[in-house]
Amino acid sequence: MARLNSFLLLSLICFLPLCLCDKSYGGKLFPGFYAHSYPQAGEIVRSVVAKAVARETRMAASLLRLHFHDCFVQGCDGSLLLDSGGRIVSEKSSNPNSKSARGFDVVDQIKADLEKQCPGTVSCADILTLAARDSSVLTGGPSWVVPLGRRDSRSASLSGSNNNIPAPNNTFSTILSKFNRQGLDVTDLVALSGSHTIGFSRCTSFRQRLYNQSGNGRPDMTLEQSFAANLRQKCPRSGGDQNLSVLDIISVAKFDNSYFKNLIENKGLLNSDQVLFSSNEKSRELVKKYAEDQEEFFEQFAESMIKMGNISPLTGSSGEIRKNCRKMNS
């Protein structure tokens, strides 16, 4: 009997060569967290993201945005991915996410592919972090080594999503305050805003700048006039809320430093973009520096992404590893 049990145990190990127990690393994030338990995890994430971006380049910006919106609410814990149900009120219905957050189907596909080989091993929070890095690389942006080992939350915060994520029409001081609450500084703010070198924004997010910036029925006078005229053709005073305009008029599908060059020319699409150049001396100097030196921007963006990815992660025995990113394990 003992010999039979030993044979069964050996057989099980042989047929599950990828799924081994990992060390906890003292509850800290670590780039090699899955090196023994699931060494192919990063490759699987990258493959799914690459296919998604090949189908639709915009998806790279969408996945970067998911990571940002997740980390600013309860930390980088995958709470954004939870659907409403039971005691969960989803963050997807918040003002920053409703009708705009997208890419959830890509995350679902990544999770499904990962679960086929090593169920219950890679967290949804780590999937978001890896997908964000891969989205940068696939569009020509920087790469970085991603610390891993996050676990998934068993809760979501609709109020946190509404209150913590900067809004397109926030003032510079409000935006910086929201970054500071997460342990991020003005350098991180400017560098991370540079992700707007790819992607689109909805008319409802910048209409105020075109028609009624300060509540006096006048447009934002910092907006370059010919640029504003073109935007009005796509974004009427009423209606067309979901109409899209590019965030970077120079190279919408390429991750580069042209976003900062646009700001210097007063061609930032969102108020939250343009105030980086118009409202604060330190941020203005950073915009100029990154506009002149793309390598400097890339280095700081990578550093700030790692820093953002380290916001209040759940590690060790906290949280769980969800089987389905949209719902907690039963």
**pLDDT tens digit sequence for 152-163:** 999 999 999 999
Contact indicator for 82, 74 with CB cutoff of 8 Å: no
Quick one: pLDDT at residue 17? 46
pLDDT digits (tens, 9 = 90+) for 255-313: 999 999 999 999 999 999 999 999 999 999 999 999 999 999 999 999 999 999 999 99
- Confidence at residue 7, expressed as pLDDT on a 0 to 100 scale: 34
Confidence of residue 15 (pLDDT cuts 50, 70, 90): very low
The string of DSSP codes covering 213-228 is TTSSS---TTS-HHHH
H-helix segments, 79-202: 104-117, 124-138, 158-164, 172-181, 186-193
Alpha carbon distance 209, 219 (integer Å): 5
Q: Is 130:149 a contact under the CB 8 Å cutoff?
A: no
Q: Are 190 and 273 in contact (CB under 8 A)?
A: no
Task: Read off the pLDDT band of 215 (50, 70, 90).
Answer: confident
The pLDDT value given to residue 18: 52
To 10 degrees, the CA torsion angle through 165, 169, 173, 176? 30
% of the chain beyond a pLDDT of 70? 92
Give the residue carrying structure tokens 């992607």.
Answer: 199
Q: Is the pTM of this model over 0.75?
A: yes
Length reported for the chain: 330
Residue at 329: amino acid letter: N
Type and span of the H or E element at 26: none
pLDDT of 25 reads 52
Looking at residues 210-226, what average pLDDT do you find? 87
How far apart, in Å, are the Cα atoms of 195 and each of 48, 252, 255? Answer: 21, 11, 7
Counting beta carbons within 10 angstroms of the beta carbon of residue 92, is it exposed (0 to 12), middle (13 to 18) or buried (19 or more)? buried
CB 264 within 8 A of CB 291: yes
- Tally of CB atoms within 10 A around 196: 24
| Residues involved in catalysis | 69
- The enclosing H or E element of 155 equals none
161: Cβ contacts below 8 Å, ≥ 6 apart: 69, 73, 80, 91, 94, 95, 96, 97
What ranges make up the beta strands (E) of 225-322?
244-246
Q: Calculate the CA dihedral of residues 282, 285, 275, 189 and round it to 10 degrees.
A: -70
173: Cβ–Cβ under 8 A, 6 or more apart, which residues?
279
Lowest mean pLDDT segment, chosen from 13-27, 51-65, 92-106, 177-191: 13-27
